[in-house]
A and B are shown apart, each in its own frame.
Chain A
Amino acid sequence: MSQPEVGIIDQVVTQEYKYGFTTDIEMETAPMGLSEDTVRFISAKKNEPEWMLAWRLKAYKNWLTMEEPNWQNFPYPKINYQEIIFYAAPKQKIQLDSLDQVDPELLKTFEKLGISLQEQKRLTGVAVDAVFDSVSIATTFKEQLKEKGVIFCSISEAMHEHPELVKKYIGSVVPPTDNYFAALNSAVFSDGSFVYIPKGVRCPMELSTYFRINAENTGQFERTLIIADDDSYVSYLEGCTAPMRDEHQLHAAVVELVAHNNAEIKYSTVQNWYPGDKDGKGGIYNFVTKRGICEGTNAKISWTQVETGSAITWKYPSCILKGDNSTGEFFSVAVTNNAQIADTGTKMIHIGKNTKSRIVSKGISAGKSHNSYRGLVKINKKAEGARNYTQCDSMLIGDKCGAHTFPYIEVNNNTATLEHEASTSKIGEDQIFYCAQRGIGLEEAISLIVNGFCKEVLNQLPMEFAVEAQKLLAVSLEGSVG
């Protein structure tokens, strides 16, 4: 008869991660651990040209001299690089020409993830490159794209088919010396996507890469390179999941974007790596370097990310605004629940005149998780008339989690205009009760409130993915209050 005295937002229970299954398939792996031989092994497996191996080895030697960074405000156990398998690929002897030759187990895996690679069932208007552990399995709609001159293939393939492009651009935005994890990636990267949009072409469909880590004890080190030549446009989306495993797995990717004169690249991420259990056991370490350069005038690069997975997410998709009048955008939703940690944000480096940047960050923390926004806006000396607008909003669910904001600003030109807004809110019992009184139950109410909070960012996603992302937000926070 009596009502419970405790508040509603109190209990914290775990969520179900519905992508946690594993695929049973014969794999070929590199011996565990990292040495010069590992680098040679990977390069040989991919039958790479000599220059690529030389590039990797240089990166590896450089990595050996570097220290793992420690400026972040969260601890994580020391990673033992000798206990990681750096290359794992499904065994297949023939070069794939069509989907018929792909192992049906793999096709089934992607079906299960909602990514159909079969022609007839595919999402209309989206070309997909599917990466399973260390290799690209299949790229769809290749022929249709080719007609427009768009190159969309795995980066391994690009090394052979378009060596001049790869040679010219790889490491041009994120040099192998950039940081510890970028150096590591440069040495051991296994696969990833390559995109080239020729001059004046508007890519006729969304391009998408889906990453799946499957094998145990492996790291995933993919590398993506997107080049938009003058007056071109491309919208690209990446998604990812992994099985539930008790040990942590490292994901250290590098993404490089190059936008030439009047070109626009829209890069969206829906990150849903396995976050670990509710006590923080297992889960992916998502240590990623993503950077784009607006090389030409009027170029535009826009990052949109919805980060719901991973034990630790540590990344700052950034824009170098070199061309005059170029624009950089960063729209982010980062959700942390249970023991998850996210330290994410962006760097906007204004170099050209009248460059503009816009940052909208929405952090949602539940459970005993920690969620930080860390961002740098740098206005160089010659960046006359640069403008930045930054908005950082945090939402707390419960009172055991934390939200932190670290905005760094460096202004070297006094014609710059910078605006910064920040807010912190709590999903209140008042809001929950209001919804309940209208017949809306707890989970539905949280989903409604959180989606409202993130609306500006979700609106940036391509339609099909916005719906997915909304569902994902609801699932990630399932059981965050009880």
Chain B
Amino acid sequence: MISIKNLHASIEGKSILNGINLDIKPGEVHAIMGPNGAGKSTLSSVLAGRADYTVTAGEVNFMGKDLLELSPEDRAREGMFLAFQYPVEIPGVSSTNFLKTAINEKRKYHGQEPMEATDFLKFMRSKMEEMEMDKSLTSRSLNEGFSGGEKKRNEVFQMAMLEPKFCIMDETDSGLDIDALRLVSAGVNKLRNSERSFLVITHYQRLLDYIVPDFVHVLYKGRIVKSGDASLAKELEVKGYDWIKQEVEAAV
């Protein structure tokens, strides 16, 4: 699905990612954990193509394509989806209108005709049912006045609508209470299948109780310093990040 080799990136001359190597196969769920400031959000932004960051070295292959050569919108149209840590508000634009535009832009890119309005509404209705979304959410302005939980659920709903191949979730659990966390996780689990891959970024282990990963990686100072299976997350839960930091410092 995606293969990241020796990825380095900086912002304003400051190096944040210092050689990331990661290989994700179709259907796999990888979790990235790490202390604040480790570079988790930077990794997701660089993969999605945010212009603020400069890639200084490394390469990323996304389903046979050189990811770093693609514009952010083309990465999305190729099937990459980023569930934002802080989804932005777009006043006056309904989710319905936003998603219709997004889907039709993607279809255009793939040489398909735009979706008929009625087909689109039917499609959206079925996805709303599947994801147990409240009807009102789609007619309201995008993310405007949404609670933290609503915003995150809406990100997962967009994911369902756009049917991506590779999903990055940046701290989707942050700011959620336990009920909202359950709802969001249930949504994500519905979208898991043997083709679709996930990169789940989180600071806390608790999300991984609900979305059980195949692999867990620890990111620290812009490098993956430890990898393991789901049990690594449990270990971090008990021991915190300090022992990892010490291990890394000791090795230097």
Contact = CB atoms under 8 A, between A and B. Distances in A.
Given A439-B73, A452-B93, A434 B87 contact: yes
Contacts of A449: 90, 93
Contacts of B150: none
A439 B107 CA distance: 10
16 contacts: A2-B56, A7-B51, A430-B88, A433-B48, A434-B87, A434-B88, A434-B90, A435-B90, A437-B81, A438-B98, A439-B76, A439-B77, A439-B103, A451-B92, A451-B93, A452-B91
A416 to B, nearest CB: 30
Contact of A437 (B82, B93, B103): B82
A5 B141 CA distance: 31
Interface in B57-107: 59, 68-69, 71-73, 75-77, 81-82, 84, 87-88, 90-93, 97-99, 101-103, 105-106
A365 B49 CA distance: 27
Interface in B117-142: 141
Nearest to B55: A2
Interface string A427-450: 011110111111111101000110
B162 interface: yes
A453 B73 CA distance: 22
A448 B105 contact: no
Contact of B105 (A6, A444, A451): A444
B93 A3 contact: no
A4 B72 CA distance: 12
Nearest to A4: B51
A437 B101 contact: no
A360 to B, nearest CB: 12
A438 B54 contact: no
A1 B68 contact: yes
B109 interface: yes
Contact of A3 (B54, B76, B77, B90): B54
A255 to B, nearest CB: 29
A8 interface: yes
Contacts of B141: 452
Contact of A439 (B51, B59, B88, B105): B105
Contacts of B102: 435, 438-440
B61 to A, nearest CB: 13
Contact of A452 (B54, B82, B92): B92
Given A439-B105, A448-B98, A3 B73 contact: no
Interface string B143-167: 0000000000000001000100000
A431 B92 contact: no
A453 B76 contact: no
For this complex, into which size category does the number of interface residues on chain A fall?
Answer: 20 to 34
Interface in A1-42: 1-8
Contacts of A225: none
A287 B108 CA distance: 43
A227 B69 CA distance: 62
Nearest to A430: B88
Contacts of B90: 431, 434-435, 448-449, 452
Contacts of B206: none
A332 to B, nearest CB: 16
Nearest to A428: B88
A242 interface: no
B50 interface: yes
Contacts of A437: 48-49, 72-73, 75-76, 81-82, 84
Interface in B1-55: 48-55
Contacts of B73: 435-437, 439-442
Contact of B53 (A3, A429, A455): A3
Interface of A: 1-8, 425, 428-431, 433-442, 444, 448-449, 451-456
A8 B81 CA distance: 20
Given A438-B76, A451-B93, A454-B92, 17 more contacts: A2-B54, A3-B49, A6-B51, A429-B51, A434-B84, A434-B87, A435-B102, A437-B72, A437-B82, A439-B76, A439-B77, A441-B105, A444-B101, A448-B90, A448-B93, A449-B90, A451-B92
A336 B51 CA distance: 27
A448 B72 contact: no
Contacts of B158: 438
A2 B59 CA distance: 10
B76 A436 contact: yes
A442 B72 CA distance: 10
A5 B92 contact: no
Nearest to A453: B92
A193 to B, nearest CB: 33
Contact of B54 (A5, A7, A441): A5
Contacts of B93: 448-449, 451-452
Contacts of B68: 1-3
Contact of A440 (B49, B50, B84, B101): B101
A439 B161 CA distance: 13
A382 to B, nearest CB: 39
A8 to B, nearest CB: 6
Contacts of A425: 91
Nearest to B77: A439
A32 to B, nearest CB: 47
Contacts of B59: 1
Contacts of A441: 71, 73, 105
A435 B50 CA distance: 12
A326 to B, nearest CB: 30
Nearest to A5: B54
B29 to A, nearest CB: 20
B191 to A, nearest CB: 16
A318 B81 CA distance: 49
Contacts of B88: 428, 430-431, 434
A40 to B, nearest CB: 52
A240 B92 CA distance: 27
A5 B59 CA distance: 18
